[in-house]
Amino acid sequence: MSRQKANAEGKSPSRISAAARSLAVPLLAVVTALIIGALLIIVTDETVLAAFGRGIGSGLVQAWRIISKAYGAFFFGAFGDLYHITETLRIATPYIFAGLAVALGFQGGLFNIGAEGQYFIGGLTSVYVGYSLTGLPWFVHLPLALLAGAVGGALWAGIVGVLKAKTGAHEVINTIMMNYVAYRLAEFMLDVGGPMARPGYRPVSPEVQPSAYLPQFFPSDSTIRFNAGFFIALAFAVLVWWLLYKTTLGYEIRTVGQNPHAARYAGINVPRTIIITMALSGALAGLAAPMDILGVIHFMPNAFSSGYGFDAIALALLGNSHPLGVVLASLLFGALRSGASNMQGIAQIPIDITSILQGLIIVFIAAPAIVRAIYRIRGLEQGEELVLTRGWGQM
């Protein structure tokens, strides 16, 4: 709708300074969110409030004590020792996949809000291949189980892509609907007595065969859950980057995303591209599930919800829909999660604070004008910002 006005005298800034400024907003968004989080911790801490009752000075001292304890635990939980570093990386692994999924959709002008559902389906297909096939060598079984996850997610999202391409039905509503269908389907499959439930009274799938495990890097220390999944995720980030920026398919996806009219004019098959984009996005989201299942827990429980769908949106926004950005954002979120759970254990700060931080980060990144106003920095040139979605009204 809002077409950028031509900026006649616009001198293009050097690419480096543009990159620096495009990094400034996400960084400041994170910092601002952490500051607000600190304030929240202070005002909800009774000892701090009591100390303020005794005077400003003692209040500030107590506030500092609480914050340094909480954020100390937080940073230790994120990077403090080998265990916590590997935990950060492990948590970041499915984030990378889910974030890439949403980012790829954004690049193609599609808002895949259904990474959660695709994750579920990817989990079901992957775990099925993981436990039902036996006697295969790992170098056959593991790739097959991964592939199954990708295919499951791709099909699930592909349905939405087909509906969008053929009938114009908006993908946001349909991916949300597919999320709920996926929850129910997973519930049905894994419920006690369900087709994919293990015998007994727990609503979980059977154990995956060891031949489909993602290899561990510290087999001697069983508490460290870091595994090969992280490097697979990095490889996929590179692959997505290469696909988007170096190939004709990527050019098609980005052109449809930025200007579907021009794409049609250029002879690009827009409906087909929408379907492909959606399916690829779903495949990436579907691959997030095996990272947890084949890498960590080795079965699929019912009620598996972990909020990946929403986190993925935050990751894609934070990473400006660029694969490298998504990896960095995922590392940050991995650290947030790992740190927050340590903070919960040591400083009794509810882990839900991560959702608050994530919500704030999205707000600040989506409305960079707020961050710029707080820190008084200059805006980007027009034409550099990505069009994310279109409202229902305008296709």
One residue of 367, 374, 377, 379 binding other proteins per CB under 8 A: 367
> Residue 163 and residue 178: Cα distance in Å, rounded?
12
Return phi, psi of residue 227, to 5°.
-145, 180
One residue of 170, 298, 322, 337 binding other proteins per CB under 8 A: 170
Contact between 179 and 153 under an 8 Å Cβ cutoff? The reply is: no
Contact between 316 and 95 under an 8 Å Cβ cutoff? The reply is: no
Burial category of 113 from C-beta neighbours within 10 Å (exposed 0-12, middle 13-18, buried 19 and up): buried
One residue of 19, 173, 303, 377 binding other proteins per CB under 8 A: 173
Contact between 166 and 271 under an 8 Å Cβ cutoff? The reply is: yes
219 counts as binding other proteins under rule CB under 8 A: no
Region near other proteins per CB under 8 A, out of 58-66, 140-148, 204-212, 255-263 = 255-263
Residue 144 or 351 having the CB closest to other proteins: 351
Residue 142 or 160 having the CB closest to other proteins: 160
CA end-to-end span of the chain = 10
**How many other CB atoms sit within 10 Å of the CB of residue 204?**
19
> Residue 317 and residue 361: Cα distance in Å, rounded?
9
For other proteins, the binding residues in 80-119 under the rule CB under 8 A are: 111, 113
Contact between 157 and 279 under an 8 Å Cβ cutoff? The reply is: yes
Residue 86 or 344 having the CB closest to other proteins: 344
One residue of 142, 184, 234, 235 binding other proteins per CB under 8 A: 184
Region near other proteins per CB under 8 A, out of 67-75, 83-91, 242-250, 280-288 = 242-250
371 counts as binding other proteins under rule CB under 8 A: no
Contact between 87 and 225 under an 8 Å Cβ cutoff? The reply is: yes
CB of 372 to other proteins, least distance (A): 11
CA angle 99, 100, 104 (to 5 degrees): 120
24 counts as binding other proteins under rule CB under 8 A: no
One residue of 124, 142, 178, 274 binding other proteins per CB under 8 A: 178
Measure CA 156 to chain center.
18
386 counts as binding other proteins under rule CB under 8 A: yes
CB of 198 to other proteins, least distance (A): 18
For other proteins, the binding residues in 26-65 under the rule CB under 8 A are: 40, 44
For other proteins, the binding residues in 190-209 under the rule CB under 8 A are: 191
Residues in the interface with other proteins (CB under 8 A) total: 85
Contact between 109 and 387 under an 8 Å Cβ cutoff? The reply is: yes
Contact between 239 and 251 under an 8 Å Cβ cutoff? The reply is: no
Residue 135 or 393 having the CB closest to other proteins: 393
For other proteins, the binding residues in 126-145 under the rule CB under 8 A are: none
One residue of 251, 297, 299, 301 binding other proteins per CB under 8 A: 251
Q: Name the β-bridge partners of 123.
A: none
CB of 8 to other proteins, least distance (A): 4
The pair of three-digit structure tokens given for residue 230, joined into one six-digit string: 């992280």
Region near other proteins per CB under 8 A, out of 75-83, 136-144, 273-281, 364-372 = 364-372
Instruction: Establish how many alpha carbons lie within 13 A of residue 72's alpha carbon, considering only the half-sphere containing its beta carbon.
Output: 8
